[in-house]
Amino acid sequence: MSDITLSVQGLRKVIGKRTIIKDLSFELKRGEVFGFLGPNGAGKTTTIRMLVGLIKPTSGSIHICGLDISKHFTKAMRHLGCIVENPELYPFLSGMDNLRHFAVMISGITQSRIDEVVQLVGMQDRMNDKVSTYSLGMRQRLGIAQALLGKPDVLILDEPTNGLDPSGIREMRSFIRFLAEEEGLTVLVSSHLLHEIQLMCDRVAIVSKGEIVRVDSVEALLSSEERLVWRLDPIDQGKAILRELTAIVNETEESVTTSYIEHEVGGWNRRLVEAGVTVLEMNRRLPALEDLFLELTGGESID
């Protein structure tokens, strides 16, 4: 089996006359955490629902571990675990009954496997209580237990930290990292919180208006956008000199921002000094994903 566990090619969805998803393509590798980032309404949820077979794509293909889900749905789903939106379970059944309910739908799951995943998410104490008595965090954990039952190769989590408290979020984050690094799962996480994605993912796809704007590793995305902030005196002369040398990204009364190009920065500095401009401050800045996002999506608000 190749390292590609989830492959999406030319995915489109048209509802009525509106094209909701326009030609998405991406591939996920074993052991990576892949972020799906975009504002609400960008098509994240629709895409995820197509990945798990809840919505039928208008065109394009989805392969899970090499199996086309439109042709071999049950075989493909055998390799997939997911939580779509909130972890909705049957509130009137106990946690154990919920897991049993889903376990019998996958062939070859035994009681010991159920106990194993319960152990994994640390829920062994509350399994015989009704789900209606659980907190959101516990439901989230039970939801993950349920998704892990069939030893999936691909785990799809839609907004996994939604509604969790800060410690819950931290816990979830490290758990997801653990699954990818130790268990070798491919995890696809969607979120509208940039900060989340930044901390959790190896690679990110930025989605806007039904299209993937960019797919890259988090570091690459960020480093390509490194900035240098200059404070100069006199500022106007300094600006003129820098404008000749490189593109100015941003300027205020007191400072000028240019892109950071490591092997040229020294030269620029020398030219400024030679022209008699005092460099008060040179500040290299790694931008937050947030800035990047705003830039890439043309100022579309995130929330």
Partner 1 sequence: MHSKKVRFLTIFASLACLLWLFGLGWTLKDYLIGKPSSASISPSTDEPVETTEETSVLKIVALGDSLTRGTGDIEGKGYVGYVSDRLKAAGKDISLINLGIKGLTAPLLADQMKEKEVGRQLGQADVIMMTIGGNDLFLGGQTLSDVSEASIRALEDRYLLNLQEILSGIRAVNTEATVYLLGLYNPFSEFENGEQLSEVVRGWNYKAAELLAKDAKTVYVPTYDLFQQNVNELLFTDHFHPNEKGYSRMAERVAALITGAEQGGQP
Partner 2 sequence: MINLVQNEMTKLMGKRRFMIIAIIIIVLLSMFTYAQSKEAESILERIGTTDWRTELQQQIVDMQNRLSSAGQWREQFQIQIKQSQYYLDNNINPAQPGAPTFIRGFVQNSAELFLPLLVMIIAVDIVSSERSMGTIKLLLTRPVSRFKILLSKYIALILSVSIVIFLFGSLSYLVSAVMFGNQGWSAPVLTGFSSQGGELDISGVRLVSQWQYIIQQFGLAWFISVVVGTLSFMLSILMRSSAAGMGTMLACLISGAILSNMVSSWESAKYLFMVNLGLMDYVSGSAPPIDGMTLGFSLSVLAVWMLGSLIVSFTVFMRKDIY
For residue 197, give every residue at least 6 positions away whose Cβ sits within 8 Å of its Cβ, in sequence order, or none: 35, 37, 189, 191, 204, 218, 289
For residue 49, give every residue at least 6 positions away whose Cβ sits within 8 Å of its Cβ, in sequence order, or none: 55, 84
Is the distance from CB of 245 to CB of 268 less than 8 angstroms? yes
146 in contact with partner 2 (CB under 8 A): yes
Q: Tell the burial category of 67 from Cβ atoms under 10 Å away from its Cβ (0-12, 13-18, 19+).
A: middle
Work out what residue 145 binds among partner 2, partner 1, none; the CB cut-off runs from 5 to 8 Å by kind. none
157 in contact with partner 2 (CB under 8 A): no
Coil, helix or strand for 123? coil
273 in contact with partner 2 (CB under 8 A): no
Bond preceding residue 287 cis, omega within 30 of 0: no
User: Where does this chain touch partner 2 (CB under 8 A) — which range of 86-94, 111-119, 258-266, 282-290?
Assistant: 86-94
Work out what residue 177 binds among partner 1, partner 2, none; the CB cut-off runs from 5 to 8 Å by kind. none
93 in contact with partner 2 (CB under 8 A): yes
Nearer to partner 2, 107 or 301 (CB): 107
Distance CA 286, CA 303 (A): 23
Nearer to partner 2, 93 or 294 (CB): 93
CB of 100 to partner 1, least distance (A): 5
Q: Token digits for 88?
A: 């909705």
75 in contact with partner 2 (CB under 8 A): yes
97 in contact with partner 2 (CB under 8 A): yes
Q: Token digits for 260?
A: 């950071």
Binding site for partner 1 (CB under 8 A): 97, 100, 103-104, 111
CB of 80 to partner 1, least distance (A): 21
CB of 89 to partner 1, least distance (A): 17
User: What b/e string do you get for 212-223 counting C-beta neighbours within 10 Å, with b at 16 or more?
Assistant: bbbbeebeebbe
List interacting residues with partner 2 (CB under 8 A). 49, 52-56, 73-78, 80, 82, 84-86, 88-93, 97, 101-102, 104-107, 146, 150
